[in-house]
Amino acid sequence: MITTSGTESLENGTRMTESTTANVVTSIVPAKLTLDEVRARLDGKRGKKYWQSIDDLVDAPGFIEMVKEEFPRQASEMTDGFSRRGFMKVMGASLALAGVTGCTKQPDEEIYPYIKQPEDLVLGKPNFFATAHPFPTGAVPILVKSQEYRPVKIDGNPEHPMSKGKTDLFTQATLLDLYDPDRSKHVIDRTRAQNVNSSFEDFQTSFLEQVQKLPAGGQGLVFLTETIISPTFAAQWKAAQAKYPGARLVQWEPINRDSSRIASKAAFGEYTDAQYKLENADVIVSLDADFLASNAFPGFLPLSAAYAERHAYEAGKTMNRLYVVESMPTVTGAKAEHRLGLKPSDIERFATALANGGSFSGDEFARKYFAALLADLKKSGAKAVVIPGEQASPAIHAAAFALNAQLGAVGSTVVYTRPVAEIPTEQMADFRNLVGAMKSGQVKALVILGGNPIYSSPLDLGFGDGLGAVPYTVHMGLHPDETGARTTWHINQAHFLESWGDARSYDGSVTILQPMIDPLYGGVTHYDVLQTLLENTGVSTMEIVQANSKTYITGDPAAGWRKALHDGWVEGSAFTAAGKTPGKASLPSFPASSGGYELAFRGDTGTYDGRFANNGWLQEMPRQITHMSWDNAALMSMNTMADLKVNEDQLIELEVNGQKVNFPPLMVPGHPDGVITVTFGQGRWFGRQAQFVGSNAYKLQSSASPYLSTGLKVNKTGEKHDLCVTSVHSMDQRGKMAQSDLAHKATSGNESLPGHEAMERAIIRTATLAEMQKEPEYAHESTLLKETPKHDDSFFPNAWNYTDKDKSTNVMQNAWGMTIDLNSCVGCNACVVSCYAENNISVIGREQVKVGRNMQWLRIDTYFEGDLHAPKAHFQPMMCQHCENAGCEQVCPVGATVHTPEGINTMVYNRCVGTRYCSNNCPYKVRRFNFLLYADYDTESLKFMRNPEVSVRSRGVMEKCTYCIQRIEYAKIEADKEGRAVRDGEIITACQEACPTSAITFGNINDPAAKVNKLKKEERSYQVLADLNYRPRTSYIAGVTNPNPELETAETA
Amino acid sequence: MATKPLAHPYRHPVNDPMIDPRTGEFAVIAPGHNYTSVTQKIANIVLTSHTPLGWFFGLIAAGGVASLVVIAVTWLVLRGVGIWGVTIPGAWGFAIINFVWWIGIGHAGTLISAILLLFKQGWRNSINRFAEAMTIFAVVCAGMYPVLHIGRPWLGYWLLPLPNTMNIWPQFRSPLCWDVFAVSTYATISVVFWYIGMVPDFGTLRDKASLPFAKWFYGLLSLGWRGSTRHWMRYETASLLLAGLSTPLVLSVHTVISFDFAVAALPGWHTTVFPPYFVAGAIYSGFAMVLTLAIPIRKFYHMEDLVTLRHLDNMAKVMLGTGLIVAYGYGLEVFMAWYSASHWEWFMMWNRMFGPMGWGYWLLILFNIALPLGTLWWRKLRIQVWYLFTISIVINIGMWFERFVIVVTSLYRDFLPSSWGTYRATKWDYMLYIGTMGLFTTLFLLFVRFAPMIPMSEIKMMLPQTKIDEVSAEDTVNEVA
């Protein structure tokens, strides 16, 4: 895929080989510029700041091409050890600096004080504002931390009844989207001969002219939007429809809820959403539903929180039991007590058989599994729930409706409500019709509000051709992306943190979106575009939203509006259960297998459908289960890999219906045989982070069966590809193992060296409920390896025990500590992204990650246990353990890492010279080193994003988790001001704040009443690598599972 | 030097040219030399106006390779250590391996000049000068690495205890801090010892030189040496004192360097056997390097009569002895891994031998133990010049692998399997390493051309001319008694 040669052109640099791509690219690159012309353009722009001018130019025709010729392949420059450009740059800089060493003058910067300081602004003190992250599955209510009115951190709105202050990884990462330097900065007008940077006012004039030309009623005018969850936009559309009855609205997203829509329409007669009440469920059955991963699954936040709460062990409480029948291994499957890996088509058979109470024909384990699950469901009745996956077929949804009805779960563990989407539709069907109409010339004007169909639509529809046949096309988006480059108008959209709006959450409650900052590039919203159509442009977006809010705010509108803005949601706007019971219906199922391999499509756990592909945090984040970063792959089982006779370092060609795309194969433990999974969201050809990464799976997708294709052919290419996987431990052996005979034997867990070692070293400690009741001390079985030596066993018995008292107040000092509940942790990575934002962690790029230099302070270690074909997985968030006896501190020759009296292991960045000895002596390997200059000091927009309370680390400096010391100090200062001790729960670390399942607890271990102290005293609390006598301050709470005794014996037998 | 007659002088065939017929001692210099011939032979190499063409070729080649250092270091300082293969978990790589390797090589020089002097091993006189030079040049190469390998080399001086207004000192518990003291002391003493030893020879060169510049130059270096008895007395005293000072250094430097590893809690590093085994390994590799240098030089400058087979044989014996200590160290590591009953140790040893980088361990065993120790028992091989040359290079490679195995295979798979990684050196790693070899060779070539590579004064003390007087004097004393 990504070739390393520095002179590849844009098209050849990616894995995309089809000529369509080349056409796209060449068609957006008009006449060439020369350097002289660039200078001439710059000369004319004296009025603006330099960096803005350059940005202006980037949009100018030919600029990109000029840069490409002048500086070939600058995109992956960091990756090349010795690029000419980088060399000249640093050489030039060092020459320039040669004369001024020793007396460096800081560059002149102008600082303007407030003439009139805003009333609520204290410089250095953050403000918090409530708004919501609109996402197609439902908005996530958030509280945005704002420093001098710059949003610097997104966290959940703690008062919201649905999310309770939790967020998912996408919501966390949208902060970087706001400051993305590749964002669209202008309205672009391509109606004239030359591309011109235009204004929204010009667009409005042009658009209205165009509408006037249309036949009466706006025949031929089509709006293509993403899923609408905004009541105001829906109301606006209603008004627009009244004015232009001929205009049409098509909602379409590549990852949509069509299966659920089709099934609910058939079952209820109208579109219906299911809301699951997992707090009431003893038995949860997931049919390919990955509801513990991210907001990609509707209701992720309440579902995961309720799951974790019921999964916590407490004497006298019934623990829930999770069954997952799935294809691609997910974190949900990993958390399951019993996971069954089946092909998507088999899952459908399984679901139908379950609903019909019949039997399931499969291998021995699958049959046993089916019988045990059926028995367990019958036993649990209304305390059980069946959750179908959004990418499962409508038939599976129908089976789930039927099952939940049979169990009597409706009203107990599941309620049916009206959909979160304001105007629910079957998106793929609508979209197919639209493309047909476009091709046949019925569409005269197409307005694309958000979305990127040129990139993300199934290739068989030919949306690109359709777009060419529409005379007047408009694209509004955050980026001048693949679609935005091909429309006659491109409008720069305002980010949701820059704009007014409203959106519904999973529970139906409405949150009013308020801007945190003036639009950085003066963008507008989809409300503004519709307002243009309504010829009502004098009204601001806020007024539109406020006017419409009367429909859901009860009582005094003005007071209600203020309260809604303050609280972050509108009270009483949540849906109530509809009290409907589903009927039975026969529904479309997956296409019948025609032999060969099946190809399943999933959203990426990092880039989703590709909208986050330019987000460095999400690109770099090791994906759940696979630990892949900056890549996507053909995910398959080891048997499949052995059958195909391929290795993980090769590139294979997947061929479906004549479409061919290259992917590297990657073995995923637990993946079913006979099916290959690919993820969307990579292979884009726009964006400094997104382009050159991975392959575009949309090219293989068929519109008829979007999430499963049959008749897949796999061809070898003979090319090599170096996958970027952060847990490289098994990479060196795994591919070979697949090729050896081992693959076809029953492989025991001992074959997996890391998994075996993790068990041997007691890094992961877990027991079943029965085992635990038999031996409550299972996390501390008496082997020496597992326990911290007593203070007296040490050569240095008088270690400081952090119980000094302040002489004046006689109050014991603080001693910070953390616990992480492995029973609750679902491995969703929200904490990892939150840590990125809070601590200004650098994004380092694919090549650096590949050699193992990833900078995440916090990582989710995943250990597989048992059979390589059907393993169990355990997650363990791992960050600096703040050892009391820290090895890193003793070996640092300059004292750059030292202990605070409160027991925090701190890094003094400006003292660090970078010997890296501390990392060598750290058994947890949680220290991260700036091997090169990773921090981006040049990109202006990213400077606004940084947390001003945390240093930006330069080259040659070690860094690591600080327990969010800036938050600790903030709380201590507040407490000091009020003359009191820091209260328990007052300090919330960034990871803790994000964690949807509240697995992380932080506090003062010297405070006997602190929650962290209670957790540390629990029988199940243990320290990782305790026997080294490093005395870590972070401890883990061993997992407990609640397996079905029948299946337990079946598995071990 | 041993002057006592052997108890049974007739045990040796009297017609052996290598045995002094008067004393029964093994002669270490070929017969036929007198004061004049020794001076002529050694001083000529320096003072000749006909520098051999081969020297120029050598200097150009070595200088070319040394220029790689300049490129590699420039780019390193501009970009950062990320151009190397170091990563997490393998945060130390070639830089530390090569640092230890070069420092180890230096040890032979100090051992020869100090310990062998104290033990009155007369044969050392022929080789001590260039062994000392080798030490200094090896320390130059080694000393570069610790500074370059840190993330911010320009702040390397923070490891020195310099008084400052912030009152910040180095962290004295860190072995890296001890390193700074150990290596800098070592470098200083070695340079002083080397220079003091050369003073009488510089006097000779000054007297023999015909060019005015050479006269001035060597005159300056000879510090007014006149060869008076008082000078000689003070010279001998100074040598003895410096030898006394350097002797603990031979043991301490590599001991301290072994602490870099032994103090850490990492399995494979955390072991008490390291100090003696590092010192033995250092001497092992140092003698190998002396042989690697001595064999071509004695051939090139026709010095077979001054650096004789007897020298080579003796050095091979030292290698055999230290090699056995090293082998014992390896054996003890394996034994302790088992005997400690520690999972960490046992896994580390298993992984070192049979893990993905197991080849490194077995190359080490082959090059350091199997090949040299299996063969050096035979005197026939020990005086086989080509064989010794080959085996000395084999040992140098083996000792490099020893450091590779210690640094890399301990680091890349440590405690948490989740953070296991791998290590792959980059072209910049290799460039700097090869460059330092070029630098070393360049410095050495300059040394053999411009300084007396064999100490004339000390060789003269071993000549029969000197001995006759001594023996006859002793005879007289015995007779009187």
Give me the pLDDT at residue A752, please: 61
Sheet containing strand A816-821, edge to edge, reads A1000-1004, A816-821, A1034-1037, A1021-1022
Which tokens go with A448?
């694309």
Average of per-residue pLDDT across B255-277:
92
Q: Does position A162 have pLDDT exceeding 50, yes or no?
A: yes
Chain B residues with CB-CB distance to A86 below 8 A: 79
Out of A732, A863, A1030, the one facing B418 most closely (by C-beta) is A863
**What are φ and ψ of residue A650, in 5° steps?**
-105, 170
User: Is the CB of residue B263 less than 8 Å away from at least one CB of chain A?
Assistant: yes
- The total of other beta-carbon atoms located within 10 Å of residue B331's CB is 12
In chain A, the residue whose alpha carbon lies closest to the alpha carbon of B265 is A921
CATH class assigned to A258-417: alpha beta
Give me the pLDDT at residue A413, please: 92
* Average pLDDT for chain B: 87
Report ipTM (2 d.p.): 0.90
Tell me whether residues A755 and B417 touch, CB distance under 8 A. yes
Average of per-residue pLDDT across A801-828:
86
**B29/A454: higher pLDDT:** A454
- The total of other beta-carbon atoms located within 10 Å of residue A428's CB is 22
Out of B170, B176, B414, the one facing A917 most closely (by C-beta) is B176
Beta strand A816-821 pairing with A665-667: unpaired
- Smallest CA–CA distance, residue B53 to chain A, in Å, is 37
**For chain A, what percentages of helix, strand and coil (3-state, to nearest 5) are there?**
35, 20, 50
Which tokens go with B313?
């044989």
Give me the pLDDT at residue B281, please: 92
Residues A984/A1011, Cβ–Cβ less than 8 Å: yes
Q: Would you give the DSSP letter of residue B115?
A: I
Amino acid at A848: Q
* Domain regions of chain B by residue span: 22-470
Tell me whether residues B92 and A933 touch, CB distance under 8 A. no
Q: Mutating which of A733, A891, A955 best tests the B interface, going by the most B Cβ atoms within 10 A?
A: A891
Give me the pLDDT at residue A30, please: 36
Give me the pLDDT at residue A792, please: 67
A189-200 tens-digit pLDDT: 888 766 677 888
pLDDT > 70: percent of chain A: 83
Tell me whether residues B80 and A932 touch, CB distance under 8 A. yes
User: Is the CB of residue B414 less than 8 Å away from at least one CB of chain A?
Assistant: yes
A864-920 tens-digit pLDDT: 876 666 678 889 999 999 998 899 999 999 999 999 988 899 999 999 999 999 999
- Smallest CA–CA distance, residue A95 to chain B, in Å, is 11
Handedness of CA A523, A529, A530, A535 (dihedral sign): positive
B287-315 tens-digit pLDDT: 999 999 989 988 888 888 888 888 888 88
Give me the pLDDT at residue A797, please: 64
Out of B79, B151, B421, the one facing A957 most closely (by C-beta) is B151
Please state whether B368 falls in left (phi above 0), alpha (psi between -120 and 50) or beta.
alpha
A187-256+424-567 in CATH: which number? 3.40.50.740
Q: How sure is the predictor about A749, in pLDDT bands with cuts at 50, 70 and 90?
A: very low
Tell me whether residues A862 and B418 touch, CB distance under 8 A. yes
User: Is the CB of residue B426 less than 8 Å away from at least one CB of chain A?
Assistant: yes
- Smallest CA–CA distance, residue A153 to chain B, in Å, is 28
Chain B residues with CB-CB distance to A729 below 8 A: 413, 417-418, 420-421
Q: Does position A755 have pLDDT exceeding 90, yes or no?
A: no
User: B90-124 burial string, b = 16+ CB within 10 Å, else e?
Assistant: bbbbbbbbbbbbbbbbbbbbbbbbbbbbeeebbbb
Average of per-residue pLDDT across A28-53:
40
Give me the pLDDT at residue B97, please: 95
- Smallest CA–CA distance, residue A989 to chain B, in Å, is 24
Chain A residues with CB-CB distance to B91 below 8 A: 916-917, 919-920, 929
**B3/B310: higher pLDDT:** B310
Give me the pLDDT at residue A43, please: 45
DSSP string, A660-694: EEEE-EEE-TTPPTTEEEEESS--BSSSTTTBTSS
Give me the pLDDT at residue A592, please: 67
Chain A residues with CB-CB distance to B269 below 8 A: 920
User: Is the CB of residue B71 less than 8 Å away from at least one CB of chain A?
Assistant: no
Q: How sure is the predictor about B82, in pLDDT bands with cuts at 50, 70 and 90?
A: very high
User: Is the CB of residue B423 less than 8 Å away from at least one CB of chain A?
Assistant: no
Give, in degrees to the nearest 5, the angle at Cα A788 between A786 and A790.
135
Which tokens go with A267?
């079952």
Residues A1033/A816, Cβ–Cβ less than 8 Å: yes
**A585/A554: higher pLDDT:** A554
* Average pLDDT for chain A: 83
Radius of gyration of chain A (CA): 29
**A362/A531: higher pLDDT:** A531
Tell me whether residues A757 and B356 touch, CB distance under 8 A. no
User: Is the CB of residue B73 less than 8 Å away from at least one CB of chain A?
Assistant: no
Give me the pLDDT at residue A720, please: 84
Residues B467/B23, Cβ–Cβ less than 8 Å: yes
Query: CA–CA separation, B283 vs B292, rounded Å?
Result: 14
Q: Does position A178 have pLDDT exceeding 80, yes or no?
A: yes
In chain B, the residue whose alpha carbon lies closest to the alpha carbon of A860 is B418
Tell me whether residues B151 and A916 touch, CB distance under 8 A. yes
Please state whether B59 falls in left (phi above 0), alpha (psi between -120 and 50) or beta.
alpha
Q: Does position A784 have pLDDT exceeding 60, yes or no?
A: no
Beta-bridge mates of residue A449 = A225, A476
Beta strand A1034-1037 pairing with A958-959: unpaired
Give me the pLDDT at residue A356, please: 86
Average of per-residue pLDDT across B139-159:
92
User: Is the CB of residue B358 less than 8 Å away from at least one CB of chain A?
Assistant: no
User: Is the CB of residue B161 less than 8 Å away from at least one CB of chain A?
Assistant: no
Beta-bridge mates of residue A678 = A601
Give me the pLDDT at residue B164, please: 86
Tell me whether residues A919 and B89 touch, CB distance under 8 A. yes
A351-361 tens-digit pLDDT: 989 988 888 88
Q: Does position A1052 have pLDDT exceeding 70, yes or no?
A: no
Out of A732, A958, A1024, the one facing B422 most closely (by C-beta) is A732
Give me the pLDDT at residue B109, please: 82
User: Is the CB of residue B40 less than 8 Å away from at least one CB of chain A?
Assistant: no
Residues A849/A620, Cβ–Cβ less than 8 Å: yes
User: Is the CB of residue B266 less than 8 Å away from at least one CB of chain A?
Assistant: yes
DSSP string, A515-558: -SS--TT--B-HHHHHHHHTT-TTS-HHHHHHHHHTTT--S-HH
Amino acid at A344: P
B178-195 tens-digit pLDDT: 999 999 999 999 999 999
Q: How sure is the predictor about B149, in pLDDT bands with cuts at 50, 70 and 90?
A: very high
Tell me whether residues A891 and B176 touch, CB distance under 8 A. yes
Query: CA–CA separation, A325 vs A366, rounded Å?
Result: 10
Tell me whether residues B174 and A893 touch, CB distance under 8 A. yes
Q: Mutating which of B154, B263, B413, B418 best tests the A interface, going by the most A Cβ atoms within 10 A?
A: B418
Out of A86, A914, A1028, the one facing B152 most closely (by C-beta) is A914
B293: CB partners within 8 A, 6+ apart: B130, B134, B444
Average of per-residue pLDDT across B167-171:
90
Chain B residues with CB-CB distance to A81 below 8 A: 79, 83, 426-428
Give me the pLDDT at residue B321, please: 93
Residues A476/A271, Cβ–Cβ less than 8 Å: no
Chain A residues with CB-CB distance to B411 below 8 A: 920
Cβ within 8 Å of A, B 172-201: 173-177, 180
Q: Does position A835 have pLDDT exceeding 90, yes or no?
A: yes
Out of B88, B269, B422, the one facing A853 most closely (by C-beta) is B88
Tell me whether residues A931 and B80 touch, CB distance under 8 A. yes
SS3 A139: strand
Out of B82, B91, B347, the one facing A920 most closely (by C-beta) is B91
Which CATH fold topology does B22-470 show? Formate dehydrogenase/DMSO reductase fold (1.20.1630)
Q: How sure is the predictor about B359, in pLDDT bands with cuts at 50, 70 and 90?
A: very high
Q: Does position A347 have pLDDT exceeding 70, yes or no?
A: yes
In chain A, the residue whose alpha carbon lies closest to the alpha carbon of B166 is A911
Tell me whether residues B421 and A729 touch, CB distance under 8 A. yes
Chain B residues with CB-CB distance to A1026 below 8 A: none
Residues A149/A517, Cβ–Cβ less than 8 Å: yes
Cβ within 8 Å of A, B 317-346: 343
Tell me whether residues B264 and A923 touch, CB distance under 8 A. no
In chain B, the residue whose alpha carbon lies closest to the alpha carbon of A762 is B416
Q: Does position A104 have pLDDT exceeding 80, yes or no?
A: no
- Smallest CA–CA distance, residue B429 to chain A, in Å, is 12
Q: How sure is the predictor about A769, in pLDDT bands with cuts at 50, 70 and 90?
A: confident
Q: Does position A324 have pLDDT exceeding 60, yes or no?
A: yes
Which tokens go with A253?
């997203």
Q: Does position B395 have pLDDT exceeding 90, yes or no?
A: yes
Cis peptide leading into residue B89 (ω within 30°) = yes
Out of A862, A894, A914, the one facing B171 most closely (by C-beta) is A894
* Domain regions of chain A by residue span: 31-93, 187-256+424-567, 258-417, 597-757, 765-821+964-1053
Chain B residues with CB-CB distance to A863 below 8 A: 417-418
Chain A residues with CB-CB distance to B90 below 8 A: 852
> What is the second-level CATH architecture of the domain A597-757?
Beta Barrel (2.40)
Tell me whether residues B173 and A863 touch, CB distance under 8 A. no
Out of B265, B417, B426, the one facing A1028 most closely (by C-beta) is B265
